[in-house]
Amino acid sequence: HACVVQAEADGRLTVWSCTQAPYLLRGSLAAALRIPSSKVRVIATAVGGGYGGKVRLKLEGLAALLSMKTGRPVKIVHTRTEEFIGAVTRHPSVVRMKTGARRDGTLLACQAEVIFDTGAYCEAGEVVIWEVVQATPGPYVVPNVWVDGFCVYTNRVSAGPCRGFGWPQVTWASEGQMDALARELNMDPLEIRLKNAFDEGSISASGEVLHSVGFKECLRRVAEAVNWHGRERRSGHGIGLIGFTKMSMPQTASAAFVKLNEDGRIGLLTSAVDLGQGISTALAQIAAEEIGVALDDVEVAAADTDTTPFDSGAISSRQTFHVGNAVRQAAADLKKQVLAAAAAMLEASPEDLEIRQGRVSVRGVPDRSVTLAEIGTATQIRLGQPILGRGAHLDSDIVMPDLATGQSPKPAPYWKYGAQAVEVEVDSETGQVAIKRMVSAHDCGRAINPLSIEGQIQGGAVMGLGFALMEEMIFDEGRVVNPNLMDYRVPTSTDFPDVEAIIVEAPHREGPFGAKGVGEASTIGAAAAVRSAVAEAVGVTINELPITCEKVLDAIEAQRKEKSLSGS
Q: What is the pLDDT of residue 565?
A: 86
Residues of 128-151 as b/e, b for ≥16 C-beta within 10 angstroms? bbbbbbbbbbbbbbbeebebebeb
pLDDT, tens digit (0-9, with 9 covering 90-100), for 423-470 = 999 999 999 999 999 999 999 999 999 999 999 999 999 999 999 999
> Is the per-residue pLDDT at 76 higher than 70?
yes
Q: Do the beta carbons of residue 234 and residue 275 sit within 8 Å?
A: no
Quote the mean pLDDT of the chain.
Answer: 96
Give the mean pLDDT of 186-203. Answer: 98
Tell me, yes or no, if the pTM score tops 0.85. Answer: yes
386 and 418 housed in the same domain: no
Assigned domain for 176 exists: yes
State the Cα angle at 513 between 510 and 519, rounded to 5°: 80
Which one of 394, 427, 457 terminates a domain?
Answer: 394
Which residues lie below 8 Å from residue 221, measured CB to CB, with a gap of 6+?
A: 419, 441, 502, 504
Give the mean pLDDT of 196-204. Answer: 97
125 and 214 housed in the same domain: yes
129 and 197 housed in the same domain: yes
57 and 124 housed in the same domain: no
pLDDT, tens digit (0-9, with 9 covering 90-100), for 254-268 = 999 999 999 999 999
381 and 412 housed in the same domain: no
Assigned domain for 85 exists: no
pLDDT, tens digit (0-9, with 9 covering 90-100), for 269-279 = 999 999 989 99
387 and 461 housed in the same domain: no
Q: What is the pLDDT of residue 231?
A: 95
Which one of 78, 105, 131 terminates a domain?
Answer: 78
Assigned domain for 84 exists: no
Q: Do the bridges between strand 499-504 and strand 433-443 make them parallel or antiparallel, or are there none, so unpaired? A: parallel
Assigned domain for 62 exists: yes
Question: Domain residues for 47?
Answer: 2-78
432 and 519 housed in the same domain: yes
HSE, CB side, 13 Å, CA atoms: give it for residue 168. Answer: 29
Q: Do the bridges between strand 433-443 and strand 107-119 make them parallel or antiparallel, or are there none, so unpaired? A: unpaired
Assigned domain for 51 exists: yes
Q: Do the beta carbons of residue 263 and residue 296 sit within 8 Å?
A: no
Q: What is the pLDDT of residue 568?
A: 60
Which one of 394, 411, 443 terminates a domain?
Answer: 394
365 and 296 housed in the same domain: yes
282 and 231 housed in the same domain: no
> Is the per-residue pLDDT at 39 higher than 70?
yes
What confidence category does residue 327 fall into, taking pLDDT thresholds of 50, 70 and 90?
very high
Assigned domain for 153 exists: yes
3-state helix, strand and coil shares in percent for the chain, rounded to the nearest 5:
35, 25, 40
Assigned domain for 86 exists: no
How many structural domains does the chain have? 3
CATH number at residue 211: 3.30.365.10
435 and 312 housed in the same domain: no
pLDDT, tens digit (0-9, with 9 covering 90-100), for 544-567 = 999 999 999 999 999 999 888 877
d(CA 176, CA 287): 43
